[in-house]
Structure 1
Amino acid sequence: MLVIRPIEQRDFPTLKQIAIESGHGFTSLPVNDEILQNKIDHSIASFAGRAAGKGECLYFFVAEDSDTGDVVGTTALEADLGLSSPFYTYLLGKQVHCSPKLGIYNVVETLTLTNDYTGSTELCTLFLREQARKGLNGRLLSKCRFMFLAEFSELFDNRVMAEMRGVSDEQGKSPFWSWLQEHFFSMDFPTVDYLTGIGQKGFIADLMPKYPIYVNLLSKEARAVIGKTHDKTRPALRLLEEEGFSWRGYVDIFDAGPSVECDLRQIRTVRHGRHLKVRIGDVADAGKHLISNTRFDDFRALIGDVAVNEEKAQAVMTEEVARLLKVEDGDTVRLVEM
């Protein structure tokens, strides 16, 4: 059974291996020891000193196999984007060129560089290792974040977003970046992807075009991938769409992958979650549920069999499930039916 828990120092070797496996375009996990260690340190500090409200906190989780102890996935929440380091996106918009005298009316699409997501909360660093891509594991890894958001909503922004990896090939070549590289830069996509991942973003402000880009001036290949998602990222996008996330025209500045968003209070798992008291006992009439404890620094979540006693407002679970969640009889858990 997979259990979600906060990342720990002992997870560094596995985190580095996951960074290698994630490949090009997975900006939030660069293959850089110092950056990966900083992420672990940042998360540990965020969990150790609970903020009074929203702050520049990183809540980094791993999925651990309870049978083997192996870490098989990562997922994270960035509470407050773009305060210490600018967070850039392109916004796909429209420009009208009209001349009534000549009877001409043209609408053209534009890409405008923005910092519109500054202060928003980001869902990030979702990666499930290949050997664990089965059953409900992907759903657990994605949806566990919403249980944490719901339980500690005061620590997050009401606008929750997620960047979806855009289109690139096995060598890391992005059709969208290829056009930008030709006209504005002299770096390939893997290089800019890596520099962004390690926080060296100064070149963006220095070299990015300052004015809106007319989409019809881009290459055919670049236009075709605007708002499109990498094949390996489509399952993650579908899970977010099930939760109510939608694309509102924002795309990544390097690969043009879509950024999707949702109001925190409208996320399905947040809306449907409820608190119940734990009772350890017979689960003969159990159904699959997403369950989390209500602890902050010792958060746990999993998908398990639970029988709900509506009259007593109880979640009836086995000793194993209770042990993995670190709860006992009478404790409170958050529950969502799968």
Structure 2
Amino acid sequence: MMIIRPLVETDANALLDLAHKAGVGFTSLPADPDRIVSKIAASLSAFSGQVDLNSEQSYVFGLEDTQTSQVVGICGIESTIGLSSPWYSYRIGTLVHSSRELSVHNTFPTLYLSNDQTACAEVCTLFLDPDYRHSKNGNLLSKSRFLFLAEFPERFESKIIAEMRGVSDANGQSPFWDGLGAHFFDMPFADADRLTGLGKKEFIAELMPRHPLYINLLPQSVRDVIGEVHPSTQPARKMLEDEGFRYQGYVDIFDAGPTLETQVQDIRAVRDSRHYTVTVEDNVPAGETPYLVSNTSLISYRCTITYINTPESGPLCISTELAKALQITAGEPVRAVPLFVPRL
């Protein structure tokens, strides 16, 4: 069985292995042992701490294969962003040049360096081992966070974003970086990406141009990738859009990957999830519809996919195996929602 749970200290080696597999461009999971240990410690502190939206709290989850006890995927939620250090993105805007005398009216798309998404929550750090990209594991890894958001909304800002990985080639080269960022930073994309992953973001403010950049003056190779995602990220983007996230014209300053956003309460899995009190039996007939099911614990959060028949009223009957995986007993509540958007 595949189970989502909070990270623990002993997951460090598994995360380092995932970081190496993720490669360049995956800023939130750098292949740095010390950074990974710090990431786990920060997550443990968030789960055990009090609600505080005046500080950034990072909740990070692992996808565990219970047959091997190995963490094969990672995902996270930031309670709020841009407080301890500035949060930068490019906003795609418009400048108008017009002359009534010459009867000329031209509009030009531009890139503005922006801090507009400061104090938003963020879903982040989504990566699944390539060997496990099957059997709805990606859906579980991504959408499990939404049941956590539904259960503990007071721990997160009401608006939430998701940065999508931008276009880069097999060697980690970013067309957007090569055509724009490299002119201001004088360093390879991988080095800038590594520094950002290590939390060293001061150089962005020091070196980035503050004036609008005209997109039509950039090389075609740069224009082509603005707002586009890495091929391996396309399924993640569609999944988020199915849940209600939308692209609103913000892109990453390094690779121009799109940022999607929505209100937490408008996420389909948050809005439609329900609590059920459970009964437990050894043998329970499988249902026809896959559901996300989680317990309601903070520190011991567990979430998985199962096929169940939810009742219109009354308790939800689950198997002994599922109850054990979710660490619950009869009479306790679970939260559940269909894994996919129901077809009309």
Query: Displacement, 1:217?
Result: 1.0
Q: Which residue of 2 aligns with 1:304?
A: 306
Query: Displacement, 1:53?
Result: 5.1
Query: Displacement, 1:323?
Result: 0.3
CA distance in 2, matches of 1:220, 1:105: 23
Query: Displacement, 1:310?
Result: 2.2
Query: Displacement, 1:32?
Result: 1.2
Q: Which residue of 2 aligns with 1:40?
A: 40
The answer for unaligned runs of 5 or more in structure 2 is 340-344
- Gap change, CA 1:157 and 1:240, over 3 Å in 2: same
Task: Judge conservation of contact 2:180–2:222 (CA < 8 Å) in 1.
Answer: no
| Letter in structure 1 aligned against 2:290 | K
Q: Which residue of 2 aligns with 1:136?
A: 136
Q: Secondary structure at the match of 1:56?
A: coil
Q: Secondary structure at the match of 1:86?
A: coil
Offset from partner CA, 1:160-187 (integer Å, 9 cap, x none): 1000000011111111111224532210
Task: Give the paired residue count.
Answer: 337
Q: Which residue of 1 aligns with 2:342?
A: none
Task: Judge conservation of contact 1:227–1:257 (CA < 8 Å) in 2.
Answer: yes
Following superposition, which runs of at least 4 residues in structure 1 exceed 6 angstroms of deviation?
none
Q: Which residue of 2 aligns with 1:325?
A: 326
Task: Judge conservation of contact 2:51–2:154 (CA < 8 Å) in 1.
Answer: no
Q: Secondary structure at the match of 2:204?
A: helix
CA distance in 2, matches of 1:122, 1:337: 23
1:226 aligns with 2:226: yes
CA distance in 1, matches of 2:197, 2:76: 15
Q: Which residue of 1 aligns with 2:124?
A: 124
Q: How high is the TM-score relative to the length of structure 2?
A: 0.96
Query: Displacement, 1:305?
Result: 2.4
CA distance in 1, matches of 2:185, 2:302: 45
Q: Secondary structure at the match of 1:68?
A: coil
| Letter in structure 1 aligned against 2:218 | L
| Letter in structure 1 aligned against 2:329 | E
Task: Judge conservation of contact 1:79–1:157 (CA < 8 Å) in 2.
Answer: yes
Q: Which residue of 1 aligns with 2:251?
A: 251
CA distance in 2, matches of 1:154, 1:54: 12
| Letter in structure 2 aligned against 1:323 | K
Aligned residues with identical type, % of pairs: 45
Q: Which residue of 1 aligns with 2:297?
A: 295
Query: Displacement, 1:54?
Result: 6.2
- Gap change, CA 1:53 and 1:167, over 3 Å in 2: closer
Task: Judge conservation of contact 2:55–2:83 (CA < 8 Å) in 1.
Answer: no
Greater displacement, 275-284 / 151-160:
275-284
CA distance in 2, matches of 1:211, 1:78: 29
Q: Which residue of 1 aligns with 2:72?
A: 72
Query: Displacement, 1:248?
Result: 0.2
